[in-house]
Amino acid sequence: MAHPLEDTLIAKQIAPTAMRLLVLDVLIKHPAALSLADVEALLKHADRITVHRTLKTFTDKGLVHRVEDGSGAVKYALCEPTCTPTQHHDLHVHFFCTQCRETSCLPAVPVPVIPLPGAYQVQETSLVMKGLCPRCAGAA
Ligand SMILES: [Zn+2]
Ligand SMILES: [Zn+2]
Ligand SMILES: [Zn+2]
C-alpha cells in the first residue's frame, strides 16, 4: 500500500520509522521553517534528543536544510527534491517576518553569487531578508 510520507523518506534513502514519519508530517503541514523546540511542541510525545537526531538525519540525507535567521534558534525547512546527501541545492533567500516571527523559504529567489576578494574560500552562503510577510503586510 503506497504511503506518500514513507515514499518521501525512501526516496532520500531514509528508513521510515514511526518518529521520522511524525516529524516529516509536522514539517509538511507547517510551510514555515521550524526550530527544534517548535517541532518538539507540535509532537506531543517526543523527547528533544530523538527529535534532534531525526532532524540531523533529515539534514544529512538532503531532506531538510538548516536556516539561520538571526532569531537565535536554528530552524529547519523541507528541501527541494533535487537535494542529495552530498549536496544541498537550497541556495535561496529566506524571509524572516518581524511581526509573526515566521521564517519562509523563497525557492524562486536564488542567492546571488557574490565575488569575494583574494584568498577567501566560501563554504556557505545564507541570505535572510527581514520585514513583513504577505499575511502580516495585509493586516497592517
Ligand atoms: Zn537541501
Ligand atoms: Zn508575518
Ligand atoms: Zn529554505
- Give pLDDT tens digits for 75-103: 999 998 889 988 888 999 999 999 999 99
pLDDT at 140 over 70: no
pLDDT at 31 over 90: no
Average pLDDT in the 45-50 region?
89
Distance 110 CA to ligand 2 centre (A): 21
Distance 32 CA to ligand 3 centre (A): 9
Distance 139 CA to ligand 3 centre (A): 25
Distance 138 CA to ligand 1 centre (A): 30
Residue ranges making up the domain that contains 27? 4-139
pTM score, whole prediction? 0.89
Q: What is the CATH number for 15?
A: 1.10.10.10
Quote the pLDDT of residue 80: 87
Instruction: Please report which ligand is nearest the Cα atom of 111.
Output: 3
Quote the pLDDT of residue 1: 59
Average pLDDT, the chain: 93
Percent of the chain with pLDDT over 70: 98
Distance 119 CA to ligand 2 centre (A): 39
Quote the pLDDT of residue 94: 97
Give CA separation, 95 vs 67, 78, 127, in Å. 10, 15, 9
Number of domains in the chain: 1
